[in-house]
Amino acid sequence: MNKRVIEISSDEEEVKKPKTEEKPESKAGRVPSPIHLTQISDLPPSENVDTVTLRGLIGSKNLIEMFQFNYMMSIEFVLEHVHSDARKTLSSHFVYGYKPGHEDPTSDLEQELRQIKGIDPTKVHLNRTALSRWGSHHSKLMVLVFGDGTLQVVIHTANLIPVDWDNLTQGVWMSPRLKKSVQVGAASTDSSIGHQFKRDFIKYLAAYKTKSTDRAVKLVQEFDFSPVKAHLVASVPGNYQPNGADYRQWGLCRLQKVLQPISCKGGQIVAQISSIASLGPSQSTYLDSVEQALNGQPINSKDKPACAMNIVYPTVQEVQESLGGYMSGTSIHLKRQQPQEKKQMEYIGPRLRKWAAVEAGRQRVAPHIKTYFRTTPDSRALRWFMLTSANLSKQAWGIVNKTKGNQWIQSWECGVLVTANMFGYDSFTPIYKKDCGSDPGVYIRMAYDIPLTRYSSGDKAWSSHDTYRDPDWLGYSWVEYFPGVHGPHGPQNG
C-alpha cells in the first residue's frame, strides 16, 4: 500500500522524509483536511505525519516559475529549497512591502541576490508595494507554475526565513495542481466556488499593479479553478465607500459577506492568533465589529454579536516551555503596559484561552499560525474554518466607520475560508496528528486541542514587551526587546 508523502525530493542530496502512517486509498466519503501543518524539525516522525515542508512545496525539478508574496523573506533561503535542476532556469518573483520615507528593503535584497551562486540573477524579479505608516504587507502566498502545464496556489502563515519553517506551528492551504482552461481567456460567468475563487484571486493580484503581479494575473487567467473548494478572504489597502464595487471585496466586509449565508446557531467562535493589536478602550470600539462579521451579522448594527469569540493565545509558561524557549515569542505580541492597553485587557482577558495542544502534538511548538472557526452547538465539530495571515488588528481587517460606513484597510492580508458543505457534509470533524480519519466525513487538521482550555488564575498572556527573569527551559531569561529577527523592515511581528 502506498504511503502518502507530501515532501518532494529536490536536490542532489537525498531528502530525509518523515515516516507517515499508511494512508488508505482514496474512497468516496472520506475527505482529508484541506488545511495542513508544517513539519517541525525537533519533533519525532510520529508528530510530523502528513506535514508540509518548503522543499515539498517548491522543490520539484519541474518548477519553472514562482511568485512569492511575503512579509519577511530571504531570497537565498527560498532558492536553497528549489531543485538544483530548476534553480538556474527558474523565473522567480518576490513581492514585499516598503514604507516611503523609511529604508527600502530592495537594496538589501539586491545585495543578497548578488551573493547567491548558481542562479541567473536576471531571472529574479523584485517587486515592492508602498505601505502606509501603520500598514504592512503581511500576506503569505505562492503561485507556482510547473513544466507539465499545471499551476498551484499556496496560502500559508510562514515568513520566508529559516526560523518560521523550523520549530513554529504554521498552517498551509494548497490548491490542487490546476490544469489550463479549455477556453483560455474566455470570460467566465460560472458561479461555482472555484470560479469565484479565481475571480477574487485575480482581483487581489491585480491590486498590486506591478510587472510581476500583472504577469501572475495573465497566467492565472489561463487555468481552470473549478477543483478549488475555498473562499478567498483577503485585505487590500484602501478606503472603500459603501456604494463602491469593492466595498465587500476585502477585510471585515468580505468576511461578513462570506459568512452571512452560512446558518449557524449556537456553538462558539474561536480566533487563534499570534498578535493582538490596539483595539480600543472598550469592546464596542472595535471588537464588536469583528464579532459581528464572524457571525455574518451586519457590521456596526445595533444588534449585539450573536456569539462572542474566544481567543487562543499562548501564556508566558507555554512560550517559556516551547522548543525555542522565549525566542519563540519574538513574533507573538500583545501590549499591556500603557493605561489604554490595560483597559483593553479588561475585556480581552476573560476571552483568552491557552495554547493547549497536547492531543494535536504541538504543545511545545509556539504558534505563528492564525485560524478562526465556528463549532457546532455541542462543540464537537466545526461549521467553517479559516486559515489566514490576519491577526486581530484594525490594520489587518479594516475599520468600518460607524457613521459614514466606509471601510479603511491599511495592510495586505490573505486567507482561505472553507465550509463543510463545500465537501458534501454538514460539519468538519477535527482530527489530530494526521490529515484524514477512517470514518466517513471531511476532516480538519487541528493545531491545538478542542474543547479549549481557560486560563487559570496564575496564567498570564505572553508579551514580548515584558521582562521575564525566570529562565526558560534552555536557561535564558528575557529582557524586553526585539532580539534581532530582521526582515525588510527591521525587527518584525509577522
- Burial of 153: CB neighbours in 10 Å, binned 0-12, 13-18, 19+: buried
Distance CA 361, CA 65 (A): 35
Which of 81, 83, 138, 333 is catalytic? The answer is 138
Q: Is the peptide bond before 451 cis (omega within 30 degrees of 0)?
A: yes
Distance CA 419, CA 437 (A): 18
CA–chain centroid gap for 56, Å, is 18
Residue 88 annotated as part of some ligand binding site: no
Q: What are the residues whose beta carbons fall under 8 Å from the beta carbon of 385, sequence distance 6 or more?
A: 35, 371, 372, 373, 417, 418, 428, 444
List residues bridging with 144 in a β-sheet.
66, 152
**Is 36 considered catalytic here?**
no
Distance CA 230, CA 34 (A): 9
Residue 99 annotated as part of some ligand binding site: no
Q: What are the residues whose beta carbons fall under 8 Å from the beta carbon of 133, sequence distance 6 or more?
A: 99
Distance CA 354, CA 455 (A): 6
Q: Pull the grid cell for residue 422.
A: 463545500
- Sign of the four-CA dihedral 176, 178, 179, 183: positive
Q: Pull the grid cell for residue 358.
A: 497536547
Element (H, E) at 490: strand 490-491
Contact 487, 161 (CB under 8 A): yes
∠ CA 307-313-319, rounded to 5°: 170
Which of 36, 83, 231, 368 is catalytic? The answer is 368
Q: How many CA atoms within 13 Å lie on the side-chain side of 231? A: 22
**Is 138 considered catalytic here?**
yes
Report helix, strand or coil for 246: coil
Beta strands in 79-174 (DSSP E): 91-98, 124-130, 141-146, 151-156, 171-174
Q: How far is CA 299 from CA 263, 394, 399, in A?
A: 17, 14, 10
Q: Which residues are annotated as a binding site?
A: 140, 370
Q: Which residues are annotated as a binding site for substrate?
A: 140, 370
By annotation, the residues acting in catalysis are: 138, 368
